[in-house]
Structure 1
Amino acid sequence: MSENKKYTYPKKLSIVRFFLDAEKVRKNPIPFHKKYFEKLGDTFSVRIGVTMHLILSRDNDVAQHILQKSHKNYYKSRLQTVYLSKYVGKGLLTSDGNFWLKQRRLIQPAFHKQKMNQLVDNMNHIIDSELNGLFEEKPVDIFPVMSQLAYTVVAKSLFHLSISEEKLKRIKFIIDEVQNFLIKEIRLPHKAWWFSLSGQVEKHLQLSLENNNIIQEIIEERVSLNEQTNDLLQMLLDTRYEGTGEGMSVTQLIDEIKILFTAGYETTANALTFTLYLLAKYPEIQEKVWKEIEVIEKETEDVLEQLQKMIYINAVLNESMRLYPPAWITDRQNIIDDVIGSYHIKKGTLIGVSFYELHRNPKYWSNPDEFNPERFLGDQKKHSMQYFYPFGAGPRMCIGSGFAIYELGLTLFKIIKRYEVKPISGEVQFNPLVTLKPVGVEVLFSKR
């Protein structure tokens, strides 16, 4: 598009309104997004300065355009490529262009379904072990419990027996510390000078470096043993670049492992927490899950076969992630001028898609705020899947989605088999950070 051609954008949010709401939006943007969508339509824009535009959408056509149909023209925003990569390195989550494509092609085979099937027995034992310490007959804040479970599953699926409990705890501490600080950097850009001057940036960069060193020790120990181990680290060590036949450098391997940690456990913990809350709130749906578990256990003891038979459980998990998508928003920036529907947008426009709002958009969902797993069963499922983004979409869809689905299904299966989950909390509270994090969600686990 030529420079003198007029650009057109969706209905604009007043810049005055934008700045008046800015401080509250930083704390929790979701109520404001909902208000703006209801007032301005499913896609609106904000003009910053003379030429810079932001677009926020809950429209499926916009999501499809930037994530699938024209994905090559849309790169990740600075949130991932600059802020996040500063601490977790240059891996799949934080890279773009040819480098991203090269890494995706390299790593994809390690996450093939057949490879994931090899990890199931180990995953099954880890979940059993983590659930043995579950508090019974007393209120439990379930997010910390699910967070520890999900972290242990990722860590021991990555490293199997190659990691001590001390190193395990230290990696988790560093990941949590760095993520919490990252949120402050993103939400309080006007304090960047203070974060730098006070040494907070340097402190967290040093923590990230310490994490690198721990992971490097684990890799070097594995390589020196020269033994085949059934875990994700071994699968990544065995990958080879097309053409050269070489494996990843240790530095690149560290970056990819840090990404798997960062992206792999909190989203799963979020999904499990929200699902258990919803099952506690809707005992009739929980009873259907329990009935399916009884039927499955009578049919087979094989864990893989049990996973394949979890039809209703998967519908429950999908409906939970529809209402509370762990990765609740995504953003992209166009690298060339583009046309989306009737809008002609300039290169460098930042476009955000709120999966939280898209998943509740009445244009696509009837009674959108209602918890109804039937949406993901039978004929309804085909319709629902068109507007459902629990793991993103397109070529950049989460590479670990298969791993997450196995972990979610197995964990829910084991909890509902053992316990009746009863509600303690009122309405669920959450904090929309990089992921949609549940806050103070309490339930009671009563032995069946």
Structure 2
Amino acid sequence: MSENRTYNYPEKLSIFRFFKDAEGVRRNPIPFHKIYFDKFGDSFSIRIGSSRHIILSRDNEVAQYILQKNQKNYHKSKFQSVYLSKYLGKGLLTVDGEFWLKQRRLIQPAFHKQKMNQLVENMEQTIVAELDGLVEEKAVDLFPVMSELAFNVVAKSLFQFSIADEKLNRIKFIIEEVQNFLIKEIRLPHKAWWFSISGQVKKHLELAEENNRIIREIIEERTTSKVEVNDLLNMLLETRYEDSGEGMSVKQLIDEIKILFIAGHETTANALTFTMHLLGCNPEVQQKLFEEIIKVQSETDDVVEQLQKMTYTNAVLNESMRLYPPAWITDRQNIEDDTIGSFNIKKGTLIGVSFYELHRNSKYWDNPDEFIPERFLGEQKKISMQYFYPFGAGPRMCIGAGFAIYEMCLAVSHIVKKYTIKSVSNEVRFNPLITLKPVGIEVIFSKR
């Protein structure tokens, strides 16, 4: 676009209203987003200073355009590329451009379906062991249980060798500490000076470096042992760049492993927690799911084949992630001027897409706030998938989607086969951090 081109944006939220709501938005932006969308429509904008704009949207056309149709013009915002990379390094989640493409091509084969099939036995053993001590006939705060399960599945899939529990627990602690501080940094940019002079930034950078040391030790132990193990670490060690034929540096491997821990742990724990709650509120859905599991397991002993036959279980998980998408929002910045629909936008515009609101937009979904797994069965599934972003979309779609689906299907099938689930309350509370984190969701497990 030429310099004298007129830019125009969706209807604007006043900067005064934005600052008035700022503290509430920091605590939980979703109720405020809903108010703004109801007032302004499927996209609205905020002007920062004289020329910078932010757009927030729940419009499917906007999502498809920035994530798929013209994705090369839309890079991750500095929230992801700067704030996240400061603690997580330069892995798939935080980098862009040619380096991202090079890493994606390198790592993709490790997540091929055949490779994932090789991990299923180990995954199932971990899930069975984690569920062995499940508390029965008593209200259980679900997220810590699912978080422990999901973390150990990722850890044992990455490192099949028995890593000392103290190391794994330390990795988990550091990941949670750093993420909680990261949210404060992102949501309270005006306090950056205080975070710096009070030593909080230094403290969390030191924690991140400790995490690097722990993972480096694990990698070095593996490479010196010369033992081939069927896990993700081995698959990543075997990968080679197309141009040089060389493998990843240890530093790069550490960064990718940190991303896999974060992306593969909390999102899955969130989804499992919301799914268990929804099953506990909908006994008829739970019964249909139980019947499918019994039927599938009577037809074959092969776990991979069972997973491939679990169409209703998949529909339940999809509907749960529609209502409560673990990665509930994404953002991009355009590197060149562009036109989206009727809007001419200047380069450097920050565009956020709320998957949470898009997944509940009545333009795309009938009875959008109701839990209806049938949306993801048969012919209806084809329609629903057009407006469904649990793992993002386009070239940057989550590389571990297949891994996550396998893990969640296995966890749900083992729990529902053994227990009936009853939710203590119909209320759903959550905290929209980097992911949509459940808060205080309690269920009761009773032996079948």
Q: Same fold (TM over 0.5)?
A: yes
1:100-136: CA deviation from partner (whole Å, max 9, x where unpaired) = 0110010001001011010000000000000001101
The answer for the alignment partner of 1:392 in structure 2 is 392
Superposition RMSD in Å: 0.7
Letter in 1 for 2:320: S
The answer for the alignment partner of 1:166 in structure 2 is 166
Task: Show the 5 A alignment for 1:341-356.
Answer: 341-356=341-356
For the residues of structure 1 that align with 2:189 and 2:8, how far apart are their CA atoms? 29
Instruction: Name the SS of the counterpart of 2:13 in structure 1.
Output: coil
1:209-241: CA deviation from partner (whole Å, max 9, x where unpaired) = 011001001101111111211000000000000
For the residues of structure 2 that align with 1:413 and 1:359, how far apart are their CA atoms? 25
Contact 1:338 1:345 in 2 (8 A): yes
The answer for the alignment partner of 1:359 in structure 2 is 359
Letter in 1 for 2:189: P
- Deviation for aligned residue 1:170: 0.7
- Deviation for aligned residue 1:301: 1.5
Q: Does 2:155 match 1:155? A: yes
- Deviation for aligned residue 1:426: 3.4
For the residues of structure 2 that align with 1:433 and 1:168, how far apart are their CA atoms? 23
1:264-310: CA deviation from partner (whole Å, max 9, x where unpaired) = 10000000000000000011111100111111111111110110110
Q: Does 2:291 match 1:303? A: no
1:87-112: CA deviation from partner (whole Å, max 9, x where unpaired) = 01000000001110110010001001
Letter in 2 for 1:306: Q
The answer for the alignment partner of 1:256 in structure 2 is 256
Instruction: Name the SS of the counterpart of 2:114 in structure 1.
Output: helix
The answer for the alignment partner of 1:52 in structure 2 is 52
Q: Does 2:419 match 1:403? A: no
- Deviation for aligned residue 1:194: 1.2
Q: Does 2:339 match 1:339? A: yes
Task: Show the 5 A alignment for 1:408-447.
Answer: 408-447=408-447
Contact 1:162 1:222 in 2 (8 A): no
For the residues of structure 1 that align with 2:252 and 2:297, how far apart are their CA atoms? 42
1:9-38: CA deviation from partner (whole Å, max 9, x where unpaired) = 111111211111111111111011111111
The answer for the alignment partner of 1:121 in structure 2 is 121
The answer for the alignment partner of 2:41 in structure 1 is 41
Letter in 2 for 1:274: F
For the residues of structure 1 that align with 2:425 and 2:366, how far apart are their CA atoms? 27
1:354-406: CA deviation from partner (whole Å, max 9, x where unpaired) = 00000000000000000000000011000000000000000000000010000
The answer for the alignment partner of 2:191 in structure 1 is 191
The answer for the alignment partner of 1:104 in structure 2 is 104
For the residues of structure 1 that align with 2:9 and 2:173, how far apart are their CA atoms? 43
Instruction: Name the SS of the counterpart of 1:3 in structure 2.
Output: coil
Contact 1:154 1:264 in 2 (8 A): yes
For the residues of structure 2 that align with 1:132 and 1:394, how far apart are their CA atoms? 39
For the residues of structure 2 that align with 1:247 and 1:161, how far apart are their CA atoms? 21
The answer for the alignment partner of 1:314 in structure 2 is 314
The answer for the alignment partner of 2:17 in structure 1 is 17
The answer for the alignment partner of 2:237 in structure 1 is 237
Contact 1:307 1:406 in 2 (8 A): yes
Letter in 1 for 2:430: F
For the residues of structure 2 that align with 1:316 and 1:324, how far apart are their CA atoms? 12
Instruction: Name the SS of the counterpart of 2:391 in structure 1.
Output: coil
The answer for the alignment partner of 2:182 in structure 1 is 182
Instruction: Name the SS of the counterpart of 2:387 in structure 1.
Output: coil
For the residues of structure 1 that align with 2:313 and 2:424, how far apart are their CA atoms? 22
Contact 2:281 2:426 in 1 (8 A): no
The answer for the alignment partner of 2:209 in structure 1 is 209
For the residues of structure 1 that align with 2:342 and 2:424, how far apart are their CA atoms? 48
For the residues of structure 1 that align with 2:161 and 2:223, how far apart are their CA atoms? 14
| Number of residue pairs matched by the alignment | 448
- Deviation for aligned residue 1:184: 1.1
Contact 1:162 1:218 in 2 (8 A): no
Instruction: Name the SS of the counterpart of 1:92 in structure 2.
Output: coil
For the residues of structure 2 that align with 1:165 and 1:11, how far apart are their CA atoms? 53
For the residues of structure 2 that align with 1:369 and 1:253, how far apart are their CA atoms? 41
For the residues of structure 1 that align with 2:389 and 2:54, how far apart are their CA atoms? 22
For the residues of structure 1 that align with 2:426 and 2:113, how far apart are their CA atoms? 39
Instruction: Name the SS of the counterpart of 1:65 in structure 2.
Output: helix
For the residues of structure 1 that align with 2:367 and 2:38, how far apart are their CA atoms? 16
Q: Which moved more, 1:156-165 or 1:65-74?
A: 156-165
For the residues of structure 2 that align with 1:294 and 1:116, how far apart are their CA atoms? 24
Instruction: Name the SS of the counterpart of 1:352 in structure 2.
Output: strand
For the residues of structure 2 that align with 1:405 and 1:426, how far apart are their CA atoms? 25
- Deviation for aligned residue 1:429: 0.3
The answer for the alignment partner of 1:137 in structure 2 is 137
Q: Which moved more, 1:317-326 or 1:290-299?
A: 290-299
Contact 1:91 1:259 in 2 (8 A): yes
Taking structure 1 as the reference length, the TM-score comes to 0.99
1:251-272: CA deviation from partner (whole Å, max 9, x where unpaired) = 0000000010111100000000
For the residues of structure 2 that align with 1:256 and 1:264, how far apart are their CA atoms? 12
Instruction: Name the SS of the counterpart of 1:222 in structure 2.
Output: helix
1:154-180: CA deviation from partner (whole Å, max 9, x where unpaired) = 011001115111111111011111111
Letter in 2 for 1:323: L
The answer for the alignment partner of 1:328 in structure 2 is 328
Instruction: Name the SS of the counterpart of 2:330 in structure 1.
Output: strand
The answer for the alignment partner of 1:61 in structure 2 is 61
For the residues of structure 2 that align with 1:4 and 1:163, how far apart are their CA atoms? 61
For the residues of structure 2 that align with 1:300 and 1:339, how far apart are their CA atoms? 52
For the residues of structure 2 that align with 1:205 and 1:195, how far apart are their CA atoms? 12
Contact 1:313 1:409 in 2 (8 A): yes
In structure 2, list runs of 5 or more residues that go unmatched: none
In structure 1, list runs of 5 or more residues that go unmatched: none
